[in-house]
Each structure stands twice: as structure tokens, then as C-alpha cells.
Amino acid sequence: MKHLDAHQIDEPFLLRILAPRPLAWVTTRDKLGAPNIAPFSAVMLIDSDPATLMLVVKRLSDGQRKSTARNILETGAFAINLPSPSELPALMRSASPGVRSADRFRSADVTLSPFEKIHVDRVADANCVLECQLVRHDLFADKADLFLGAILYAHAKHDGSDGPGAFIGALGYEWFVTSEGNVFVPQPYLASES
């Protein structure tokens, strides 16, 4: 048993304890319309009436915003794409920082589908996609951007009503739980970046 004071509680501990978290591909567009995709696990349901979720995007170590955060602030829109377990390796390949969005899409081998309500493409094979419009933005200690999104439209292959659907949950860094079992995906850069 560990007993930790506040100053001993670090990010690896919290990510492994507060788990699983839904793992999503967040798709956005910049103000010129160029699409972007990146994986995020800091996604949480806030309420269902009106349907609202929270996404937290951390700053890079030099204090700059990640493209996802910049795009949401520019356009006010983002889509939460919940992948199927078979998409986990592609999702991990799409996390590399500083990679041009076009190369991300190529390396992840993702096909995009048109949106319904927001001007953001969605991942065609995702298990479920939630189209969100930004309703509130906050800063956390100059380290992260907190976005509340109103869920304007949902596309769902499985909604879980006849048993657990297809899902991926993040368990901290390289471990994931999926509807098909626990999976380890080595990703060396993660421990230092996120």
C-alpha cells in the first residue's frame, strides 16, 4: 500500500489510478479548413441535458498550444471519434508531435467522412463520433486548455444497449483496455510528452 502526500502525487500515478479513460481521436480543422487528427484521453462527460463533454488539451513543454487546441479556438468545433479496438495501433501512430496533419492521416491510414452539423471531418470507421461545438473555454494554470463542447450530433455503430460495445480505454501511457482484452502498445515518447 502506498501513502502519498500531495507533493508525491505525480502524473504517471494519476493516469494509472484514474483509469480507464475513453480514448478518442479528436478531429479539428484550422481556420483555413485544413483537417487535423490526434489522440486524447482527457475526455469526460459533463451532462446529458444538454449533452455536454469536456476535453482537456495540455500545452507543449515550450508553452505553445497543440494544433488541436489552436484549431478549436479558431473554429469553435471539434469531433470526438471513439475508435474500434482494431484501430489502436493506427491511433498510436497518429500521436507524434510536430508532424504535419497530412502525414498524420497518411501514417494512421484514416479515411474521413463528411460532418453533419459542424465543419469538422469524422473518422469513417470510428465506432462512434460526437460532433461538438465549443460552449466554454478555460485555462488551467497556463498548462492546459479546458474545452466544454455541446454535443450537436452523434454517429454510432454500437451504442452499448445490447451489451458493452467496441471501446478502447486508456490505462496510463502504454497500457489500454479494449472490449477485446488488455493491450500493451510501446510508445517511448509518451512518458516524456503527455
Ligand X SMILES: Cc1cc2nc3c(=O)[nH]c(=O)nc-3n(C[C@H](O)[C@H](O)[C@H](O)COP(=O)(O)O)c2cc1C
Binding site for ligand X (CB under 6 A): 23, 36, 38-42, 57-58, 66-68, 92, 95, 97, 170, 187, 190, 193-194
For residues 159 and 184, which CB has a smaller minimum distance to ligand X in the complex?
184
Burial state string for 103-129 with b = 16 or more CB within 10 A and e = fewer than 16 = ebbeebebebeebeebebbbbebbbbb
For residues 9 and 50, which CB has a smaller minimum distance to ligand X in the complex?
9
For residues 72 and 128, which CB has a smaller minimum distance to ligand X in the complex?
72
Cell of 161: 444497449
For residues 80 and 95, which CB has a smaller minimum distance to ligand X in the complex?
95
- Pairwise CA distance, residues 21 & 5, whole Å: 24
- Do residues 82 and 129 touch, judged by C-beta distance below 8 A? yes
What φ, ψ does residue 133 adopt, rounded to 5°?
A: -115, 130
- Pairwise CA distance, residues 65 & 71, whole Å: 10
CB of 95 to ligand X, least distance (A): 4
CB of 164 to ligand X, least distance (A): 20
CB of 155 to ligand X, least distance (A): 22
CB of 66 to ligand X, least distance (A): 3
